[in-house]
Amino acid sequence: MTRTAGTRRTSSAGTGKQLLRLATAGSVDDGKSTLIGRLLLDSKLLLQDTLEALHRNGKNGAPDLASITDGLRAEREQGITIDVAYRYFTTPRRSFIIADTPGHERYTRNMVTGASTAELAVILIDARHGIVEQSRRHACLSALLGIRHMVAAVNKMDLVSWDEARFLEIEGQFLALAERLGVPDARAFPISALDGDNVVEPGAAGWYHGPPLLAHLEAIDVASDRSGGPLRMPVQWVIRPEDGARGERRYAGQVAGGTLRPGDEVVVLPAGSRTTVTAVETVDGPLESASSPDSVSVRLADDLDVGRGDILCGPDDLPVSGRQIQATVCWMSEAPLRAGEHVALKHTTRTVRAAVESIDALLDVTTLIDGAAPDAIGLNDIARLTLRTAAPVVADPYSENRTTGAFILIDEDSNDTVGAGMVRAVREGGRPPEHSPGVTWHESGLERDHRWDSLGTRGATVWLTGLPASGKSTVAAQLERILVEDGHPAYFLDGDNLRHGLSGDLAFSPADRTENIRRVAHVARLMADAGMVAIASLVSPAHHDRALARELHEAAGLPFLEVYVDTPVEVAERRDPKGLYARARAGKLEDFTGVSAPYEVPQRPDVVVHGAEEVVRDSAERVRAALERIWFPGG
């Protein structure tokens, strides 16, 4: 981070040391834990009480180095490492974070997790056994996760009498493997972790003239891996000035690639609007520039609608925005994944719903070669998938950016993280296209403000969502009445009425509901643009469908008000004017929201109406007041 003159802090601040995040994998048999213990011990990072505990656990007076890394009681009892553990050590030249993971196949997901943030991988190789399946797997996963620096720690050299030929043989195989995996920087070290040879201090072999392992870890340059590439900054949070004071909004986020400077032109995706950066700041003052991994805030020249989930990008090299994602996914759940299933997908700061369109291949994790496409993938499988998302995702290939190319998959029922994904390609598609082929949007030549001012009106869409029989339509009809009687054009788009004609071809499956909502959202947008208040009343049970309706309006610069009619299901069921709940309970109605299909409660509705206890007129008045606050913010 470069600070502007005058705000630069004195050089006594900070330690000036660089951070290196490294991943290890392997079992106690490889001596992985012993190696970590040795690094900590010889770099004097183990403190007295920890050492005493090691000696208590050790045999014949020698410290049990391996026990340093077994954190949980179950691990100590079973003598194995189960989970990812993070270790910290620092030398006069560098600070290290070690992500320490078990090496067995059934812990592939832990290895993937540990490797996801690492810049360097240490592959443990037992000199007696050479490169075995486990070392191959770890090298492959590290390469897959985009780690550019790899080190082979050829351990237990004392058990092969420090045989140079044996080391050279393993080194040759390892370098060939790294080359095939496309790892640009690979190197092998002969060591004995148990005796401490060539780990921190030089070792017993007269024929080895290279540095000890630690010296290499201290010297390696990883800073250049992070910088470079085009600008990417996912917006996390909008900082608004305190207490309603007027002032510019700041868009906060962590730079994920490239360099951000005041005066630079940026493109806000997915909207595509262009603007100029007027300031890059932190609490400590303005910056001349920021790059990965700086967390900063940004001010923009134009008053655009920018929010969480948007990405600020350099204008020349834009990521692809689309709904079809081809990705490599590591599956982390006991429950298998099949084509057609739905998950939530979190990518940078945006979460969208996704369906598995197809499973395209299963990867062999010891070769990274594509195998046949299975019907389902299970725990620890790594597969090529095609995903279709409910809203566009703006992503880079993972090979180009480890932040904007990565995503996690979340099970919507259990809320667990069930998959880790790396983007290979993004395509538009998987959805009805934005427009028919060969047509372009016709601008009428009449500016919206001019239209609205001339007609003395304002447009907006009010979107009422809630369970069937929650009272949405009653509130909608009341709102329509009070607006129209005040001389404000408004029109009630009733869910049932829309399913005559416009959506008459659709049923109630999730896909059909999504399509219905898409159509209604487009109709509402046109009406709002014309200067009317479109009042849509739809159950619209899924977050992603409502989000789509909102995005459509926000992209067009039109107000969109989500009103959640919060009526308990017992109350709605008691009302049941159309006898629908009764039919659903009797099993005669499939996919009935509240009974046999889920309703996703809005996380941040603009207005909440209490359908069970509030007078309808009061509810409608509150919605109107909210509309007026949007149209006339100061008034």
Q: What is the H or E stretch that residue 392 is in?
A: strand 382-395
Q: Minimum distance from CB of 424 to another protein (Å)?
A: 16
Our finding on whether 219 is near another protein (CB under 8 A) is no
E strand map for 139-294: 149-155, 185-190, 232-234, 237-239, 250-254, 259-260, 265-269, 273-282, 285-291
Q: Which of 26, 63, 102, 253 binds another protein (CB under 8 A)?
A: 253
Q: Residues 293 to 312: which contact another protein by CB under 8 A? A: 293-295, 308
Q: Which of 22, 65, 84, 300 binds another protein (CB under 8 A)?
A: 84
DSSP H helical ranges for 431-471: 448-455
- Written as one letter, the residue type at 197 is D
Q: Minimum distance from CB of 247 to another protein (Å)?
A: 8
Q: Minimum distance from CB of 21 to another protein (Å)?
A: 9
User: What DSSP string describes 165-209?
Assistant: HHHHHHHHHHHHHHHHTT-SEEEEEE-BTTTTBTTTB--S-TT--
Q: Which is nearer to another protein, 3 or 216 (CB)?
A: 3
Q: 385, 260, 389, 397: which is closest to 320 by C-alpha?
A: 397
What does the H/E/C string look like for 19-70? EEEEEEEECHHHCHHHHHHHHHHHCCCCCHHHHHHHHHHCCCCCCCHHHHHC
- Written as one letter, the residue type at 554 is E
Q: Is the peptide bond before 270 cis (omega within 30 degrees of 0)?
A: yes
Q: Minimum distance from CB of 343 to another protein (Å)?
A: 12
- Rounded to an integer, what distance in angstroms lies between the CA atom of residue 513 and that of residue 502? 13
Surface-to-core class of residue 426, CB atoms within 10 Å of its CB (0-12 exposed, 13-18 middle, 19+ buried) = buried
Q: 582, 580, 540, 579: which is closest to 562 by C-alpha?
A: 540
Structure token pair of residue 257: 């690639």
Q: Which is nearer to another protein, 109 or 136 (CB)?
A: 109
What is the pattern of x (binds another protein, CB under 8 A) and - over residues 117-156?
Answer: x---------------------------------------
Q: Contact region for another protein (CB under 8 A) — 127-135, 416-424, 436-444, 457-465?
A: 416-424
Our finding on whether 97 is near another protein (CB under 8 A) is yes
Question: What separation, in Å, do the N-terminal and C-terminal C-alpha atoms of the chain show?
Answer: 42
Cα–chain center distance at 267: 21
Q: Minimum distance from CB of 278 to another protein (Å)?
A: 15
Q: Residues 338 to 397: which contact another protein by CB under 8 A? A: 344, 346-347, 349
Q: Which of 357, 364, 400, 416 binds another protein (CB under 8 A)?
A: 416
Neighbours of 113 (CB within 10 A): 20
Q: Which is nearer to another protein, 253 or 322 (CB)?
A: 253
Q: Minimum distance from CB of 109 to another protein (Å)?
A: 6
Our finding on whether 501 is near another protein (CB under 8 A) is no
Q: Minimum distance from CB of 350 to another protein (Å)?
A: 11
Q: Which is nearer to another protein, 353 or 458 (CB)?
A: 353
Asked whether 27 and 102 are in contact (CB, 8 A), the reply is: yes
Q: Residues 1 to 40: which contact another protein by CB under 8 A? A: 1-2, 9, 12-19
- Rounded to an integer, what distance in angstroms lies between the CA atom of residue 330 and that of residue 20? 25
Cβ partners under 8 Å of residue 264, min gap 6 = 231, 276, 277, 314
Q: Give the residue carrying structure tokens 């510019």.
A: 248
Q: Residues 257 to 296: which contact another protein by CB under 8 A? A: 259, 282-283, 291-295
Q: Residues 184 to 213: which contact another protein by CB under 8 A? A: none
Cβ partners under 8 Å of residue 128, min gap 6 = 156, 159, 160
Q: Which of 58, 64, 71, 362 binds another protein (CB under 8 A)?
A: 71
Q: What is the H or E stretch that residue 526 is in?
A: helix 510-530
Q: Contact region for another protein (CB under 8 A) — 82-90, 121-129, 442-450, 592-600?
A: 82-90
Q: Which is nearer to another protein, 337 or 520 (CB)?
A: 337
Number of residues counted as binding another protein (CB under 8 A): 79
Structure token pair of residue 491: 């029109």
Q: Contact region for another protein (CB under 8 A) — 161-169, 236-244, 360-368, 566-574?
A: 236-244
Cβ partners under 8 Å of residue 598, min gap 6 = 541
Q: Which of 7, 29, 62, 72 binds another protein (CB under 8 A)?
A: 72
Q: Minimum distance from CB of 139 to another protein (Å)?
A: 19
Q: Phi and psi dihedrals of 479, rounded to 5?
A: -65, -45
Q: Residues 99 to 118: which contact another protein by CB under 8 A? A: 109-110, 112-113, 116-117
Q: Contact region for another protein (CB under 8 A) — 412-420, 479-487, 534-542, 582-590?
A: 412-420
DSSP H helical ranges for 417-471: 448-455
Q: 248, 226, 368: which is closest to 297 by C-alpha?
A: 248
Q: Minimum distance from CB of 147 to another protein (Å)?
A: 13
Our finding on whether 542 is near another protein (CB under 8 A) is no
Establish whether 540 is a catalytic residue: yes
Q: Minimum distance from CB of 581 to another protein (Å)?
A: 23
Q: Which of 242, 334, 434, 443 binds another protein (CB under 8 A)?
A: 242
Residues in the chain: 635
Q: Which is nearer to another protein, 264 or 480 (CB)?
A: 264
Q: Residues 564 to 623: which contact another protein by CB under 8 A? A: 603
Q: Residues 429 to 448: which contact another protein by CB under 8 A? A: none
Q: Contact region for another protein (CB under 8 A) — 248-256, 436-444, 496-504, 550-558?
A: 248-256
Q: Which is nearer to another protein, 44 or 128 (CB)?
A: 44
- Rounded to an integer, what distance in angstroms lies between the CA atom of residue 438 and that of residue 543? 32
- Written as one letter, the residue type at 1 is M
Which member of 67, 333, 470, 540 is catalytic? 540
Q: Which of 5, 47, 372, 446 binds another protein (CB under 8 A)?
A: 47
Q: Minimum distance from CB of 401 to another protein (Å)?
A: 11
Q: Which of 5, 6, 49, 438 binds another protein (CB under 8 A)?
A: 49
Catalytic residue positions, numbered: 540
